[in-house]
Amino acid sequence: MKRIMLVFGTRPEAIKMCPLVKELKKRNCFKVIVCVTGQHRQMLTPVLNTFGVVPDYDLSIMKDGQTLFDITTSILEKIKPVLETVIPDICLVHGDTSTTFATALACFYLRIPVGHVEAGLRTYNIESPYPEEFNRQAVGIISKFNFAPTEMAREHLQKEGKNPESIFVTGNTVIDAMQHTVVEDYHHPELSWAADSRMIFITAHRRENLGQPMHNMFRAIRRVLEEHKDVKAIYPIHMNPTVRKAAKEELDGCDRIHIIEPLDVFDCHNFEARCFLCLTDSGGIQEECPSYGKPVLVMRDTTERPEGVAAGTLKLVGTSEKSIYYWFTRLLDNEEDYKKMAHATNPYGDGHSCERIADILEKRI
């Protein structure tokens, strides 16, 4: 039986890989081995529990305030014996995190073939997102199978000279994950708190935004909330202590925003589906909110998800206080502008990506 190993370590990788673990396990032709690096701990475990995925290996590498050196070196060191024991026929990694990069590198050193899920996303700006753009491009050099979510991602890989036969447009597995999360009969105390208002959903965590850009975001958000008495914001805050410190400094005492602990993915999708609009620097949320017809103000200078911008539901607003304040106010005050962005669109898949990936693996390995 062919051995397929899946390695992931952060919350978004888990959300997008767990449905694939389940699909591969349904097929009788594979031995499926799951290794988590534990790059995230508190934010990873609930996702595994929600999907009922029990890892075979857990490298438990997370430490507070970890640097890119810490993550990369710990993974390289700890994954080597696992790969040497399992000797997978293929190792699947996801997206663009340091877990993804370090695992692909370890596989390359051990001559184990790599399959890249969510391959081909690009900004072509190595500084943004940082270090993710590098991670994706580097994994793209190593990978033997490239599961691209969209045609645009395929084009990137082809232009870079990847063998066309190694590229498969499958859609994004996050859409598979979303099939069962949003329910009509959903209640949450935070949603009850915001029920008398337009609810804004906020997340922020990117490494390149730590420092001044993040302070800019929070200042702009605070000003807009203070000027709009019919608006409340819910912000499930990332566990990164640097993010928490900036949020406390800028948003403390603002009673129109509730900063809460990270939400379970089930709750998160239900919040997204019920918000008025979303402000974020997240990658995954740019793929999810458009499906619910929710406009997203992307607080970044670049995006590797231009499909959502082209569809009109994402607006790249940068990280200056002035620009975020302007666009946030404009969408709240101008119904026409809001309506132009608020339509359901889903350029990222039809919910069957995992089946396609599993079919390809069945045929090709």
Chain residues binding ligand UD1 by CB under 6 A are 10-12, 39-44, 64-66, 68, 71, 96-98, 131-132, 205, 207, 239-241, 283
Residue 31 interacts, among ligand UD1, ligand UDP, none and using kind-specific CB cut-offs from 5 to 8 Å, with: none
> How many CA atoms lie within 13 Å of 259's alpha carbon, on the beta-carbon side?
19
Distinct helix (H) and strand (E) counts, the chain: 16, 13
Selection from ligand UD1, ligand UDP, none that 313 binds (CB < 5 to 8 A by kind) is none
What are phi and psi for residue 74, nearest 5 degrees? -60, -45
d(CA 355, CA 357): 6
List the single partner that 203 binds among ligand UDP, ligand UD1, none, CB under 5 to 8 Å by kind.
ligand UDP
131 binds, among ligand UDP, ligand UD1, none (CB under 5 to 8 A by kind): ligand UD1
Q: Least distance from C-beta 181 to ligand UDP, angstroms? A: 9
Q: Are 318 and 213 in contact (CB under 8 A)?
A: no
Q: Which two tokens stand for residue 81?
A: 């014996």
Nearer to ligand UD1, 12 or 306 (CB): 12
Binds 258: which of ligand UDP, ligand UD1, none (CB < 5-8 Å by kind)? none
Quick one: 236 or 347, whose CB is closer to ligand UDP? Answer: 236
Coil vs helix vs strand at 147: strand
* Radius of gyration, alpha carbons of the chain: 20
Among the listed residues 27, 41, 188, 207, the single catalytic one is 207
| Cβ nearer to ligand UD1, comparing 20 with 331 | 20
* Residue 236: contacted member of ligand UD1, ligand UDP, none (CB under 5 to 8 Å, by partner type): ligand UDP
Q: For the CA atoms of 208, 210, 213, 215, what is the dihedral angle to 10 degrees? A: 170
Beta carbon nearer to ligand UDP, 88 or 140: 140
Burial 308-340 (b: 16+ CB within 10 A, else e): bbebebbbbbbbbbebbbebbeebbeeeeebee
Q: Which residue of the set 122, 156, 238, 274 is catalytic?
A: 238
Catalytic residue among 13, 58, 132, 281: 132
**Is the distance from CB of 353 to CB of 170 less than 8 angstroms?**
yes
Provide the pairing of β-strand 167-169 with 198-203.
unpaired
Asked if 41 contacts 10 with a C-beta cutoff of 8 angstroms, the reply is: no
264 an active-site residue? Answer: no
- Among ligand UDP, ligand UD1, none, residue 268 binds (CB under 5-8 Å by kind): ligand UDP
Q: Rounded to an integer, what distance in angstroms lies between the CA atom of residue 173 and that of residue 348?
A: 9
3-state SS assignment for residue 168: strand
Binding region for ligand UDP (CB under 6 A): 11-12, 15, 174, 203, 205, 236, 262-263, 265, 268-269, 282-285, 288
CB of 121 to ligand UD1, least distance (A): 12
Q: Which is nearer to ligand UDP, 33 or 102 (CB)?
A: 102
- Is 96 catalytic? The answer is yes
Please report how close the Cβ of residue 163 comes to ligand UDP at its closest, in angstroms.
27
Give the whole-angstrom CA distance, residue 206 versus residue 118: 19
CB of 291 to ligand UDP, least distance (A): 11
Catalytic-residue membership of 156:
no
Catalytic residue at 132?
A: yes
Select 235 or 328, whichever has its Cβ closest to ligand UDP. 235
- Nearest Cα neighbor of 56 from 90, 5, 95 is 5
Q: Pick the catalytic residue: 13, 23, 58, 118?
A: 118
Least distance in angstroms from the C-beta of 271 to ligand UDP: 8
Count of CB atoms situated within 10 Å of the CB of 221? 27
Where in the sequence numbering do the catalytic residues fall?
96, 118, 132, 205, 207, 238
